[in-house]
Chain A
């Protein structure tokens, strides 16, 4: 009896050990599975399906004919779409450059300020980034109205002529750039500020002892050391601007004429106004490829290291 008991105990302990080893091998994958499933279902499989759809004629969600790469050549041969790409890059690029310069300047300025003041300023400049784009664009639209807008009222007060911020073909695109830049400056600033704070004080002290001027300190010490946050915020802001549908749609909806028709609106209209889903998926895939280039840049910049693994 005792032997049998002992045997059984021994037996179970062995199998339990094996089970534990097995579970130890599986555990991390089990832990990862919910996240991976979510990402696959909502990001990767849709992209794969879109690649499939982009090879078909698919108006009104009816797959009618296999057309190979025709959708792609159609999309890339359409001068209106090429123009929308040019507009998108123009708007995103200018907005990015202004946001980076302004963000760095404001960050350098806040860096020297007292802690509480810096915190208040950070919070205030971040408000545009965290409020919804639909709401923000709508409120700007109200301020920029031709006749009863707040800004035109002030312009008239100081004796300037009224400006058709939303109705003038040549000005509307700059209005769009302004609102998009307004949204992202705070984000850039916070990233750069965090980078500046992470610079060890000894570096700056050493530079100052060596007789560096404030200008030198910025170009030779601070700027190289905030290169990573600068690059990362540039990537995120660039991506966010290129893919921004809400602001252009709410603020100007592509108009007046097609003067602010960016690619994001084009995709949206192509699929949900004219229901050409085949071509719309081809255009989406092209946009995704542009995104991927930026994503790769982002991943490279983040330079993750497995410390405790």
Chain B
């Protein structure tokens, strides 16, 4: 008995140690970045670095927010919202088609969309093709290009998630609504989404994260400051501020905050979104 409690205590300590290690490795860049961003420019370069007893100052945040960063943040918010709305509309429609209809070419279309999930991840291979086509079409430096690309990159995943969502809604409910005289549009855009709200939110979340974090294609398709999304703006800061880590870490912290907020409140949805492709129900 005594031995067993010893063993359990030992195991508890071990688990705790591993937990601390995992925690540190995963969070240290963000915590250290946040603390750096709050130091004054002088204290930032002090060696050995100060951990707790530094004077807090918001100067770097003020520098960053006065510059082009706020414009980029607003741009990114608009781009993300547009691509989420667009992506969701496409995903609901296609998800409904996949879940409720049998039609010719369904399998081909499904494989096309399925292979779009990892294909969109291959952004380094896609950046030159996308750039060339859209510059020939005169679509670079337009406000609508980036949201459309973000939507296109993330829509395959969203369709995959929404198909599962529509399948989880019992068909009997739809039939009942149809008998009560509701139109197909009402069923597709109001009834079904309301019945699988968590799935819908999950798809929206995946599109949002993809759109907010995209850098590669945005960096070449837009080259006026007015249209920069947040990631491009941060990357350009590296060239602009060089070794001034204060403004850099402040900008980085600001860019991570929305994702962290989304994360703390919608973590469960995110996990279900990420595992949607891998697990067969």
Contact = CB atoms under 8 A, between A and B. Distances in A.
B6 interface: no
B235 A250 contact: yes
A291 B125 contact: yes
B226 interface: no
B144 interface: no
Contacts of B131: 271-272
A271 B152 contact: no
Given A124-B22, A127-B26, A127-B30, A309 B149 contact: no
A127 B149 CA distance: 24
B3 interface: no
Interface stretch (A10-18, A136-144, A167-175): A136-144
Given A61-B135, A106-B22, A34 B278 contact: no
A140 B29 CA distance: 6
Interface stretch (A73-81, A200-208, A209-217, A294-302): A294-302
B151 interface: yes
Contacts of B231: 132, 134-135
Nearest to B255: A135
Q: Is the interface of A mostly helix, strand, loop or mixed?
A: helix
A158 interface: no
Given A39-B113, A302-B114, A245 B124 contact: yes
B39 to A, nearest CB: 12
B132 A299 contact: no
A31 interface: yes
A281 interface: yes
Interface string B8-39: 00000001001100110111111011001000
Interface stretch (A1-9, A93-101, A191-199): A191-199
Interface stretch (B64-72, B104-112, B173-181, B194-202): B104-112
B117 interface: yes
Interface string B76-110: 00000000000001110110111111110011011
A15 to B, nearest CB: 19
A126 B269 CA distance: 13
B252 A135 contact: yes
B115 A295 contact: yes
B90 A28 contact: no
A246 B216 contact: yes
Interface residues of A, number: 100
A32 interface: yes
A190 B274 contact: yes
Interface in B234-281: 234-235, 238, 245, 248-249, 252, 255-256, 259-260, 263-264, 267-268, 270-271, 274-275, 277-280
A61 B27 contact: no
B252 A138 contact: yes
Contacts of B159: 35
Given A39-B155, A47-B129, A130-B259, A34 B23 contact: no
19 contacts: A39-B152, A50-B133, A124-B26, A126-B274, A133-B213, A148-B45, A148-B49, A182-B26, A190-B274, A194-B271, A229-B275, A243-B122, A243-B124, A268-B216, A284-B127, A284-B128, A290-B125, A291-B119, A304-B114
